[in-house]
Chain A
Amino acid sequence: MAGKVLTITSGKGGVGKTTVTANLGVALALHSQRVTVIDADIGLRNLDVMLGLENRIVYDLVDVVEGRCRLRQALVRDKRLQELFLLPAAQTRDKTAVSPQDMVQVCDDLRQSFDFLLIDSPAGIEQGFQNAVAPADGILIVTNPEVAAVRDADRIIGLLEAEEKGPAHLIINRLKPKLVERGDMLDTATVVELLAIQLIGIVPEDESVIAAANTGRPIAFDDGVTGRSFHDIARRLLGENIPFAPLKEPGFFDRLLRIVRPEGG
C-alpha cells in the first residue's frame, strides 16, 4: 500500500505553511501513521527548527538529488516520535538545485515505506512551488482570514486547477473568533464561499504557537484548542467525519445556554 503525498502551500508567504506541516506531521504520527515531512523551501529551511531537529541534520534533499548520500541517510528521525521523519532542505543552495522530476522520484521511493509524505512548499508560484506540487496526490491550501491572503490563495487554486492538480482542501489559520464576532475579521463561511474549495481545518490564532516555535516542540503534542485543531485535520485526512467545533473556550453565556437548553443547538 503506497503512501499519500500531500503538499502544503499558500500563495502568500508567512500564513503558516511550515507551522501546519510540522503540526500535522506530529498529529498524524500520534495517530500511528508513518510520516515524513519534506522541506521543499530550499535556501530558507525552517521545518527543522520548527520540529526542534536542527542539530541532527547530516544530509539534505540536495545531497540526495545530487547523489552524495542515499535517501534513507538523509532522513532525520524525530526524537519523540518513532514514526516521524524529516527530510531537510539545503540551507545554502538555491531552489534550482532540485527539479520537479527529482521530487517525484524522491516521493515515489518514500511512498513505499510511509503512510503520509507532507511537503512544506515555499511561498510564491515559482520553481520551489512547482517542485512542491509535482508529486502531490492532494493539496492543502493554507490561508489567513485576510484580503491579501485569500486573494493569493485563489490565484494558487486557479493555477492548480489549470494543472489538474488536486484535490485541494482549505486550512484557515490564525482565526480570531472575537474579531469575527465583532465584524472585524472575515468568517469561515465567507472565506469558503469565496474560494469555493472544501474546508478541512480551522486553526485559531494562538500565542503558544510562537512559544512552540521557540522551543521546537509543536503544539500538536499538547492538549488545547489549537493542538486539537491539528488533530482534527489529521483525523479528517484519515477519513473520519469530524464536525467543525467552535474555536472558543465556552464562555459564561455558552455554559448558561447549555444549562437552559441541554440538547444544545
Chain B
Amino acid sequence: MRLLDLLLCRRQPSSSEIAHERLRLVLAHDRANISPGMLDTLKDELITVISRYVPIDAAGVEVTFTQGRRESRLVADIPLQTGKQHGQ
C-alpha cells in the first residue's frame, strides 16, 4: 500500500512519521528550554540587530535547533540581500 503510494508519488506521511517529526521539534525545545514563541522573538531581534550592519533578506531568515541530548545548537541561517535586490 505504502509502496504503491511511493510509486505513484502521492505518498502522505504516515501518522508515525508525523509523530516522529513533532517529537523531534518538541524535544529540542524542551531540552533547550526555549519555546517556539521565544524563538520567534529571538529571530525578530536578530533581524533588527544584523540589518544595522548588513542588508539581509528578512523573509529568508531561519532560526532552528539541531537536537542532541548532550549538545543542542541554535542555528541561524541569515541570507544576505543579493545585488539586484539592493536599494529596494
Known contacts A183-B2, A186-B19; is-contact A151 B14 (Cβ 8 Å): no
Q: CB distance A147 to B15 under 8 Å?
A: no
- Rounded to whole angstroms, the CA-CA distance of A181 and B60 in the bound complex is 38
Q: CB distance B16 to A183 under 8 Å?
A: yes
Which chain B residues have a beta carbon within 8 Å of chain A's beta carbons? 2, 14-17, 19-20, 22-24, 26-27, 30-31, 68-69
Does A196 sit at the interface, judged by CB under 8 A? Answer: yes
Q: CB distance B14 to A183 under 8 Å?
A: yes
Chain A residues lying within 8 Å of B26, measured Cβ to Cβ, are: 147, 151
Closest B residue, CB atoms, query A155: B30
Known contacts A158-B31, A183-B17; is-contact A196 B23 (Cβ 8 Å): no
Chain B residues lying within 8 Å of A30, measured Cβ to Cβ, are: none
Chain A facing B: main interface SS:
helix
Chain B residues lying within 8 Å of A41, measured Cβ to Cβ, are: none
Chain B facing A: main interface SS:
helix
Chain A residues lying within 8 Å of B23, measured Cβ to Cβ, are: 147, 150-151, 186, 194
The 8 A CB mask of A158-170 against B (1 = contact, 0 = none) is 1001000000000
A-B contacts, CB under 8 A, total: 44
Q: CB distance A180 to B16 under 8 Å?
A: yes
Q: What are 14 A-B pairs with beta-carbon distances under 8 A?
A: A146-B19, A147-B19, A147-B26, A154-B27, A158-B30, A180-B16, A183-B2, A183-B17, A184-B15, A186-B20, A187-B16, A190-B16, A194-B24, A196-B68
Other A-B contacts than A146-B19, A154-B30, A158-B69, 13 sampled, CB-CB below 8 A, are A147-B19, A147-B23, A147-B26, A151-B30, A182-B14, A183-B15, A183-B16, A186-B20, A186-B23, A190-B16, A190-B20, A194-B23, A194-B27
Chain B residues lying within 8 Å of A151, measured Cβ to Cβ, are: 23, 26-27, 30
Does A185 sit at the interface, judged by CB under 8 A? Answer: yes
The 8 A CB mask of A118-156 against B (1 = contact, 0 = none) is 000000000000000000000000000011001100110
Kindly provide the distance from the CB of B86 to the nearest chain A CB, expressed in whole angstroms: 44
Closest B residue, CB atoms, query A196: B69
- Rounded to whole angstroms, the CA-CA distance of A150 and B23 in the bound complex is 8
Kindly provide the distance from the CB of B20 to the nearest chain A CB, expressed in whole angstroms: 5
- Rounded to whole angstroms, the CA-CA distance of A147 and B23 in the bound complex is 6
